[in-house]
Amino acid sequence: MLDALRKGAGGWVAQLFIALLVVSFAVWGVSGFFTGFYSDTVATVGKTDVSARDFAREYDLAKRRLGQQIGQAVTDQQAQLFGIPAQVLGRLVTEAALSDEANTLGLGVSGDMLAKQIKDDPSFQGPTGAFDRNSFIQVINNAGMTEDQFVSQLQKSYVRQQLASALVGEVEVPDSYMRAYHDYTNEERDIGYLVLTPEMAGTIPDPTETELTTFFNEHKSDWRAPEFRSVNVVRMIPADIANVDDISDDEARKVYDSQLESRFTAPEKRQVGQIVFKDMAEATEAASALADGKTFDELVADRGLKPGDVDLGLITRDKILDPKVAEAAFSLDANSVSGIVEGQFGPVIVRVTTIEPAVVQSFDEVKGTIKKELAEAHAAQEIADQFDVIEDARAGGATLSEVAANYGLDLVNYSAIDGTGKDGDGNEIKDLPGGRALVSEVFQSDVGLENNAIPVEGGYVWFEVTAVSAERDRELPEVREKVIAAFKKAQVDEKLTKLAADLRDRLAQGDAIDTVAADAGVEPRTAAAVKRTTEANDKLTTAAIQQAFGGPKGYAAVAEGADESKIVLVVEGITVPPYFSGAPDMAETEQRLSNDIANDFLQQYVAQLQQKLGIAVNQVTLQQLIGGAGSG
């Protein structure tokens, strides 16, 4: 059973607990709060506790992830502004509610099944496709847990997945919902538009000293210098120390042979069509017609079917669910039709048009890649062996420069890094070891502090902050040329905005776009069959496409264009393609919407479950863990 559930976990089940973050404090008024004392429990749901240790770990991870996204360290006060404590506690309370109910129902995972789940999890596999303990340990370290804690959390997660999967199976999407979605996503609009370039604003003179000073003071924060930090960095990752020459051809050949079918062979594909008949008599009649010269396409038309109703696509053998149909399809020559196949869902006649033969990459073609992967896997083992040695040296007082020298590693100094990973000139720092994770950690540290190694790319990054420059307001002389450029840009934008508004008003009043374009001295353009999902280009931007759906035929609007231009557009025609219930091209969309509805059901179930079980939140412990500022 768990094998089947695990396949499903790649879709909506795996995303369940993220989707349920919206279940927040609103449903927690059903029980009282602990007050006035500290304990190791943050909340209790039914008979299941959320420990202070688990909350602290998840809260810290959430702050770090947010810090990596925004490019700077996140304080407890900032975390509360982003709602991080509520989100973390909401998720842990949701998990506790599901775990409590699963325990009540007697659900569980045996030790043998848990071991199999971990062994088969792609997250813990190395380059050979087998379970790799180094990868497993690194994931555990990144999660900030011991191995026992991590395995325990995995076991609880698998049990919760059982409960979630049992609650929601295949959810059928209402046809009216599908029709509305189809119409929204497939509506097409023909638009006429004009592109107003910055050159149309004319020459903008340099500002006077008074204008420049006034503009600078009004936008002074735009040129404020952020806090900068100088940092020394040492990196040790597999790619840096891996030696491909240490890997023999025989070692690489073993990997190649073991993964030949799964990795290095693109299986044969065939364009397959099938007609399913209600009974053998109907199938026999059709087979007789084919024998008398009728084509497969004519047979499809006679039955009132469209080509899409019978086409299975260009597929591999394993994608055909019915083994007998698969056998027939992959036994035919190209452009041939089978006899009657006794399929699982009735008699079937199969046609094959195109055959793409299997493609096998030779050992010589992939040998270099395999050797690189194996070399990096060996290097990862070496790093795992050396990590504790280096940490012991650092604990013994060795400086980062001494560590680099003693272990043949490069020490790199970055003289100025801001909270977004840019240098002192505002340029993105290329190939920064550790990337956003390093920047986030640097801005949580300070001069003279010893910092934990950052896991990255199968290895680690060590760093030390050597200097801190506080943020400050720059003076006009420091950024004079940039301010002049910004002043001129603002003037251009003001002129183009006014011109665009005038042209839009004329189009809205019914003036022909050719006439308006001629008066403005620009070339009129057209875009046909534009959908909401149409890709933007250098002329028709995403903003313009969105504006094109802002009103009925004749609607005119202004949108931002590329390269500081403005786009003036008018809707010239609207078409909505017909909707057909059960159309094959909507199958993927229907499945996605089904998953969304399933998540909504689960969210409601969890909310009701929390109300039934009751939730108690220890506010004293919670406030101590999140810094004690605000209400949480």
Which of these three, 469, 491, 507, is where a domain ends?
469
Report how many domains make up the chain.
4
Closest CA to 58 of 96, 19, 99, 87: 87
pLDDT band, very low/low/confident/very high, at 127 (cuts 50, 70, 90):
low
Q: Is the separation of the CB atoms in 80 and 122 below 8 Å? A: no
In a domain, residue 582? The reply is no
pLDDT value of position 256? 92
* CATH code (residue 341): 3.10.50.40
| pLDDT, greater one: 33 or 573 | 573
Query: Are residues 559 and 431 part of one domain?
Result: no
Query: Are residues 20 and 163 part of one domain?
Result: yes
Q: Which whole-number Å values give the CA distances from 374 to 126, 255, 364, in the listed order? A: 9, 9, 16
Q: Give the phi and the psi of residue 287 in degrees, each rounded to 5.
A: -60, -35
Q: Is the separation of the CB atoms in 236 and 306 below 8 Å? A: no
- Pair of tokens at residue 279: 């009974």
pLDDT band, very low/low/confident/very high, at 502 (cuts 50, 70, 90):
very high
pLDDT value of position 198? 95
Q: Which whole-number Å values give the CA distances from 447 to 60, 450, 468, 495, 608, in the listed order? A: 22, 9, 7, 50, 50
pLDDT value of position 627? 78
Q: What is the mean pLDDT of residues 256-282?
A: 91
Q: Which residues of 507-540 are buried (b: 16+ CB within 10 A; e: fewer)?
A: beeeeebeebbeebebebbebeebeeeeeeeeeb
Place of tokens 């002329």: 539
| pLDDT, greater one: 480 or 66 | 480
165-179, 190-204, 207-221: segment of lowest average pLDDT: 165-179
Other beta carbons within 10 Å of 158:
21
**CA 66 to CA 85: how far, in whole Å?**
12
Query: Are residues 408 and 538 part of one domain?
Result: no
**pLDDT over 50 at 10, yes or no:** no
Q: What is the mean pLDDT of residues 128-155?
A: 78
pLDDT value of position 319? 87
- Secondary structure of the chain: what % helix, strand, coil (to 5)? 55, 20, 30
Query: Are residues 238 and 219 part of one domain?
Result: no
**CA 140 to CA 153: how far, in whole Å?**
11
Stated as kind and residue range, the H or E segment containing 160 is helix 147-167
Digit-coded pLDDT (tens) for 416-428: 999 999 998 889 9
Query: Are residues 304 and 429 part of one domain?
Result: no
Query: Are residues 534 and 456 part of one domain?
Result: no
Digit-coded pLDDT (tens) for 283-316: 999 999 999 999 999 999 988 888 888 898 999 9
Other beta carbons within 10 Å of 329:
24
Which of these three, 445, 469, 493, is where a domain ends?
469
| pLDDT, greater one: 318 or 145 | 318
**pLDDT over 50 at 255, yes or no:** yes
**pLDDT over 90 at 211, yes or no:** yes
In a domain, residue 464? The reply is yes
Digit-coded pLDDT (tens) for 525-584: 999 999 999 999 878 999 999 999 999 999 999 999 999 999 999 999 999 999 888 778
**pLDDT over 50 at 21, yes or no:** no
**CA 328 to CA 217: how far, in whole Å?**
78
Start-to-end CA span in the chain (Å): 40
Summary mean pLDDT of the chain: 86
Query: Are residues 380 and 356 part of one domain?
Result: no
Residue type, 500: A
Q: What is the mean pLDDT of residues 171-176?
A: 87
Query: Are residues 193 and 64 part of one domain?
Result: no
**CA 60 to CA 303: how far, in whole Å?**
63
pLDDT value of position 128? 66
Q: Is the separation of the CB atoms in 566 and 196 below 8 Å? A: yes
pLDDT band, very low/low/confident/very high, at 151 (cuts 50, 70, 90):
confident
pLDDT value of position 480? 95
Closest CA to 551 of 196, 189, 105: 189
Rg of the chain taking only CA atoms, in angstroms: 32
Q: Is the separation of the CB atoms in 151 and 114 below 8 Å? A: yes
pLDDT value of position 630? 40
**CA 70 to CA 82: how far, in whole Å?**
12
pLDDT value of position 628? 56
pLDDT value of position 167? 79
Look at the alpha carbons of 580, 586, 591, 596 in this order and tell me if their dihedral is positive or negative.
negative
| pLDDT, greater one: 120 or 169 | 120
pLDDT value of position 515? 96
pLDDT value of position 5? 29
Query: What's this model's pTM, rounded to 2 decimal places?
Result: 0.52
**pLDDT over 90 at 278, yes or no:** no
Query: Are residues 389 and 324 part of one domain?
Result: no
Q: What is the DSSP string of 86-149?
A: HHHHHHHHHHHHHHHHHHHHT----HHHHHHHHHH-GGGB-TTSSB-HHHHHHHHHHHT--HHH
Q: Is the separation of the CB atoms in 530 and 156 below 8 Å? A: no
**pLDDT over 90 at 150, yes or no:** no
With both helix axes pointing from N to C terminus, report the angle between 111-120 and 147-167 in degrees, rounded to the nearest 10: 90
pLDDT value of position 43? 93
pLDDT value of position 154? 83
5-9, 47-51, 191-195: segment of lowest average pLDDT: 5-9
**pLDDT over 70 at 35, yes or no:** no
Query: Are residues 294 and 164 part of one domain?
Result: no
In a domain, residue 585? The reply is no
Query: Are residues 606 and 483 part of one domain?
Result: no
**CA 607 to CA 23: how far, in whole Å?**
7
37-41, 321-325, 530-534, 583-587: segment of lowest average pLDDT: 37-41
Q: What is the mean pLDDT of residues 449-477?
A: 92
**CA 153 to CA 359: how far, in whole Å?**
42
Q: Which whole-number Å values give the CA distances from 61 to 29, 84, 441, in the listed order? A: 27, 10, 12
| pLDDT, greater one: 592 or 484 | 484
By the 10 Å C-beta count (0-12 exposed, 13-18 middle, 19+ buried), 44 is classed as buried
In a domain, residue 243? The reply is yes
Which of these three, 331, 360, 389, is where a domain ends?
360
Most confident of 21-30, 366-375, 547-556: 547-556
Query: Are residues 82 and 43 part of one domain?
Result: yes
In a domain, residue 426? The reply is yes
Range of the domain at 340: 265-360
**pLDDT over 50 at 24, yes or no:** no
| pLDDT, greater one: 78 or 493 | 493
pLDDT value of position 334? 94
- Pair of tokens at residue 556: 């005119």
In a domain, residue 558? The reply is yes
In a domain, residue 312? The reply is yes
* CATH code (residue 27): 1.10.4030
**pLDDT over 60 at 2, yes or no:** no
**CA 46 to CA 94: how far, in whole Å?**
12
